[in-house]
Homo-oligomer: A and B are copies of this chain.
C-alpha cells in the first residue's frame, strides 16, 4: 500500500472512536474537538511532508523488510545516516508546528523494542523479534502511526509496585490465557493518543524478582475496548475550547500537544502483539536504549526546533518594538543562540557517534553520554524562554485579547496604543506577543523542561561514568607522581 495522504490519515481515524474525556466531559469526535484536533493537524502535517518530493529520503526511506518506500517513522535506524536524518526530520517538524507529533514517540518505542526483542530471542530462544517484525511490517504496509505509552502513575514514590496501596499503580499482567494476556493499570503522559492508530506499551522501571507481571510490552489498536483516555486540562486547553477565533491563540493551528492518562481496565492483548512478558532481566537494557533514543531525538532534536521558534519570535518582537540593535538585546539573543547551539551540538555528536547495538542486530543507537548531556542542556530552554519574555516586556502577560480588535467599543484604542514601530500592524505585534506568551508564560515552558527530566538524567550520567571515573583517577595519580613515588629522573 502507498503512503497515506493527510486526508486518508484523517479518514483512517474516523473508525477508531477512542473513549476520551477532557474537563469532565466526553469527547464525541476527535477530528472536530478543539483539544484533539490540533494534534491531528500536526500528524497530518507529517503525512503531508512524507509526500513532499522536497523531503524524499528524509521523511521517507526504503523498507528493509519490504523494499517499498515507507515513512521513516516506521523504520528502525540501521546506520549513522539514519540517526542523523531522524534528528533533522524532528527538528523540521518542531520548527513547522511548535509541538510534538505522537508518531515520533511511537517510533522511539519501536526503535528500542527492535533491539530488545532481537536480544531476547538471541539469549532466550523466544520469538519476540519475529512477532515484532510482523508487527513492524503491518505498520509499514498500512502507513500507520503508533504512540508510546510508558510512564506509570506510581502512587507513593517511595514504594515498589507490589508495596503500594493497590497493585495497579504500575501497569501489569492481571492474568494470562492461551490466546493472550489481560492487562490492568494506568499510564500517564503520552501525548496525542487520539491522533494515532496504535498504542505501543513498554515498562518504565527496573524490576526485581517477584515483579515479573510488570515486565510487559505490547501493542494494540488505540480504540481497543477497555481503554479510557482522560486528557490533561490546562488553562491553555480551556482557552482553546472556548475561543471564538483560534487565530487569536498563541499557536493557532497546532496548539500544544495534549497529554493524557490511559486507563487499561482489564484489556486483552493477543500473544502476537506481546513483545515482552515477565523477562525482568531485559528491562534494564530496554530502558537504557529507550533513554538513548529519547535524549537524542526528543530532547536533543525537537527542543532545538522549539528554540528556533522562540529565538525567532524574540528577535521579531525586538524589531517590532524598535530595540533590536540595543546592546542588551544583542547580548540576550546571542545567549539564546548559544543555548540552542549547545543542545544541538551535543545531540549531533550523539547521532554522529552512533553505533550498532546489539552487535549483529543491524540496529543503530546514538551515543548515550552525548545524548544525556544534550538532554541536560535543555534546562537552558527555561533561560531562553525568560530571555525572550524579557525582550518582549510585560506585554507578554498584560496584553488584552486580540478579540478586542473586533470589539467596536475598544478596537480603535487597542489598535492605536498597542502599536510598536510605525511599519508593523498592531495585529502582527499582538500575535507575536501571544506566541511568546504561549512559550514563555504558560505550560509549554514547564512541559519542555519537565518532560525531559534533566535532573534524572544528571543521575544517569554518574551511573554511566563509573568506568571512566576510574581511568580519570589513574591519570591524576600519574600526573601527581603518586603511583611510582620516584616519577622523575
Q: Once the chains bind, are B23 and A401 in contact (CB under 8 Å)?
A: yes
Is residue A261 contacting chain B, with contact meaning CB distance below 8 A?
yes
Q: Mark A229-264, 1 if CB is under 8 A from B, else 0.
A: 011111110110111101100111110000111010
Q: Is A88 an interface residue (CB 8 A)?
A: no
Is A333 engaged at the interface, CB distance under 8 Å to the other chain?
yes
Q: Assess whether A323 is interfacial by the CB under 8 Å rule.
A: yes
Binds B, one of A112-120, A212-220, A427-435: A427-435
Interface string of A11-46 (1 = CB under 8 A from B): 000000000011111100000000000000000000
- Please tell me which one of the listed residues B260, B345, B437, B462 contacts residue A234 in the complex, with CB atoms under 8 A apart: B437
Q: Are A252 and B157 in contact (CB under 8 A)?
A: no
- CA distance in complex: A477, B313 (Å): 7
Closest to A21 in B: B410
List of B residues within 8 angstroms of A327 by Cβ: 327
**A334 CB contacts on chain B under 8 angstroms:** 458-459, 461-462, 465
Complex-state Cα separation, A259 to B401, whole angstroms: 12
Closest to A413 in B: B263
Question: Smallest CB–CB gap between A43 and chain B, Å?
Answer: 16
Cβ 8 A contact of A488, one of B21, B252, B328, B449: B252
Q: Complex Cα distance A422/B390, Å?
A: 41
Q: Does A174 contact B (CB under 8 A)?
A: no
Residue of B nearest to A332 (CB): B455
* In the complex, A473 has a CB within 8 A of chain B: yes
Known: A189-B398, A348-B349, A462-B334. A247 touches B403 (CB 8 A): no
Q: How many Å lie between the Cα of A234 and that of B240 in the bound state?
A: 11
> Which B residues touch A259, using CB under 8 A?
394, 397-398
The answer to the question of A382 belonging to the interface, with a C-beta cut-off of 8 Å to chain B, is yes
Tell whether, in the assembled complex, residue B473 and residue A312 are in contact, meaning their CB atoms are under 8 Å apart: yes
Bound together, the chains give a CA A23 to CA B156 distance in angstroms of: 42
| Residue A353 is within 8 A (CB to CB) of chain B in the complex | yes
Is the CB–CB distance between B442 and A235 below 8 Å?
yes
Q: Which residues of B contact A418 (CB under 8 A)?
A: 153, 261
A288 within 8 A of B: no
Stretch from A70-78, A198-206, A357-365, A478-486 that touches the partner:
A478-486
Partner of A333, one of B331, B345, B410, B469: B469
A388 to B374, CA, bound (A): 23
Cβ of A321 and Cβ of B157 under 8 Å apart? yes
Q: Given contacts A346-B346, A348-B353, A394-B450, is CB(A373)–CB(B443) below 8 Å? A: no
* Whole-angstrom CA separation of A189 from B398 in the bound complex: 6
Q: Complex: how many Å from CA A417 to CA B155?
A: 7
Copies in the complex: 4
Bound Cα distance from A59 to B416, whole angstroms: 41
Partner-contacting stretch, out of A49-57, A141-149, A270-278, A335-343: A335-343
Whether the pair A441, B156 counts as a contact (CB closer than 8 A) is: no
Given contacts A394-B189, A479-B435, contact A165 B487 (CB under 8 A): no
Give Cα A296 to B413, complex, Å: 34
Q: With an 8 A cutoff between CB atoms, is A399 at the interface?
A: yes
A400 within 8 A of B: yes
- Indicate which residue in B228, B232, B416 contacts A413 across the interface (CB closer than 8 Å): B228
Q: Given contacts A25-B407, A459-B334, are A413 and B311 in contact (CB under 8 A)?
A: no
Whether the Cβ atoms of B238 and A235 lie closer than 8 Å is yes
Residues in B with CB closer than 8 Å to A238 are 235, 238-239, 242-243
Contact indicator A253/B455 (Cβ below 8 Å) = no
* Cβ–Cβ contact B96 & A475, under 8 A: yes
A209 is an interface residue with CB less than 8 A from chain B: no
- Inter-chain contacts of A230 with B (CB < 8 A): 400, 404, 410, 413-414
Is A386 interfacial (CB-CB < 8 Å)? yes
Shortest distance from the beta carbon of A155 to any chain B beta carbon, whole Å:
6
- Bound state CA distance, A23 and B410, in angstroms? 11
Given contacts A23-B401, A312-B477, A346-B346, 20 further A-B contacts (CB under 8 A): A23-B403, A155-B421, A158-B323, A165-B419, A186-B416, A188-B398, A230-B410, A232-B399, A235-B235, A238-B239, A247-B487, A251-B480, A263-B413, A309-B475, A311-B469, A313-B480, A352-B352, A382-B382, A390-B455, A397-B450
8 contacts between A and B (CB under 8 A): A156-B322, A228-B413, A337-B469, A345-B350, A382-B382, A396-B450, A431-B480, A440-B446
Q: Ordered nearest first, which 7 A-B pairs have the shortest CB separation?
A: A312-B472, A24-B403, A312-B476, A441-B446, A235-B235, A233-B401, A158-B322
